[in-house]
Amino acid sequence: MTQEGSDPSLRPAESGGVRSVKSAERTIAVLEYLSSADHACSLREVATGLSLPRASAYALLTTLVNTGWIDADGAGRYRIGLRALRAGASYVEHDDVVQRAQPVMNELNNELGETVHLARLDGAEIVYLATNISRHSLAVVSRPGRRLPSWATGLGKAILAGRPWDEVDELLPEKLEPRTVNTFTDRAALRAELEAIRQRGHAIDEQESTIGLRCFAVALDFASPPNEALSCSIPVVRLYPDREEKIVAALLRARERIVR
């Protein structure tokens, strides 16, 4: 009979005395690695990216393929599978904030004719929970589950602005990687931007995530500090002089309805 502490697959957690399972941690790491990749990955990429022995990586990948969590093509490359999609869809379908926000997002999308997003803060990133796509041919598309740096998006900045700077500073990575030439990469400048957001009540993404695209966002105050935000994204070519004020006013009305 195995005595406590003798099983190498179990190791003490950092707190609480609960033991974590190393093989489970590695399995989750593989799923997260593949879900964040923008292409199907080879065994070498997975093993190198996660610092795993090649044999261990292959065993994990094979198990996940056999259980349907990832798919493998004939060239030995791996990508996230249908069971992972089902799990993600179930999360969104049963999320209370999504359920409360979706009817209002539908109306906001119809009113403005532009893409509307709902996102949640996860670490230093925001994760898209729901998207209503613009009716225009030139439209913004961000699938649920997509992750972006919080400091490079209107959604993320709206959420961060509801936190003390010390908390934000600790949350963010040491280096703020840019997505465009307009992304905030200087901490002092980002701090000033968050203070400006607090003063005016909404965030603006000035082509900081995608060139040619502006985004207006408001935090949803379900909690203090907030964890979710609502936004409207619009190509700059359709941002006529009077539209910014109308978009912000519509977002504020939508926030009141959702949170209420």
- 17 three-state secondary structure: coil
Rounded Cα gap, residues 148 and 102, in angstroms: 21
112: left (phi over 0), alpha (psi -120 to 50) or beta: alpha
46-75 pLDDT, tens digit each: 999 999 999 999 999 999 999 999 999 988
- 6 pLDDT above the threshold of 80: no
Are 24 and 12 a contacting pair, CB within 8 Å?
Answer: no
pLDDT of residue 192: 98
Q: How far apart are CA 162 and CA 227, in angstroms?
A: 9
User: For the chain, what percent of residues have pLDDT higher than 70?
Assistant: 90
DSSP bridge partners of 220: 228
